[in-house]
Amino acid sequence: MESNQRPAQAAGTYTLGGDLPVTRLGFGSMQLPGPGVWGAPKDPDAAVQVLRRAVDLGVNFIDTADSYGPAVAEPLIKKALHPYPEGVVVATKAGLTRQGPDQWLPVGRPEYLRQQAEMSLRILGLDRIGLFQLHRIDPKVPVEEQLGVLKDLRDEGKIRHIGLSEVSVDDVETARGIVEIVSVQNLFNLADRTAEPLLDYATEHGIGFIPWFPLATGKLAREDSPLAELATQHGASASQLALAWLLKRSPAMLPIPGTSSVAHLEDNVRAAEITLTDDEFDALSGAV
């Protein structure tokens, strides 16, 4: 394919842990299961097509979790992409359990985390997971035990790198005293920047920052969003500007917009081709 047919590559790459390059604009699989991230998608074949199209467009970083479904997103990824094209990195997570739609309960017992890592290896059809993330720190379990088992799994060659999800700067500093942390994943988008201290810390320390809900669950993509007028002036969609803003905000930023629609996927990925000026970046920052 010519480069313009793989637009995600225009965002450049980020190297996790010094040895694992990923496209800075990835794909998040959280929206592939049914409503409430619960159960199978209405159209499983369409979900498979979205995943395959993402890779066709140059995305090589696919983010997922055992709890998406649960056990729905990971099998869809294997069905769509296995055997995985060279360079494709599947990042998964464990540490949240499911009791129903939109219900999430952290469980960080070492034996549970090990079990889920082994299950993800089998379900995804991988010999080693490129990035394995602790989905939440369980306050009922010593963090040394939670990260200790992930370190053991890394040392055994079952996972390559370790990341954290929804943490503070203090959490990351504590974790880094136990094991190397290569990424953090927190809520962050143009409308919600409460994680900026963590983003700045990650950028300074060479840690990838994966913003979940990068489009504020679609609110920033609506025609009546504060971005709409600026998007029209730019000849782009509101969602593209929101993602371009993220990419410019920090070189460590790794947005993973998710969707169950090929059309929305194609629109999102084209954001990688937009380079905002400093003035445009400031205007977007002030508009929301």
Residues designated catalytic:
68
Q: What is the pLDDT of residue 231?
A: 87
- Global pTM reads 0.96
- Calculate the CA 27 to chain-centre distance: 6
Q: Which two tokens stand for residue 15?
A: 């190297």
pLDDT of residue 38: 98
Fold of 20-216+249-258: TIM Barrel (3.20.20)
CA distances 154 to 18, 228, 247, 272, Å, are: 15, 45, 29, 32
Check residue 232 and give its pLDDT: 85
Query: What is the per-residue pLDDT for 3?
Result: 44
Identify the pLDDT of residue 217.
65
Residue 227 is predicted with a pLDDT of 84
Residues of the chain whose pLDDT is less than 50?
1-3
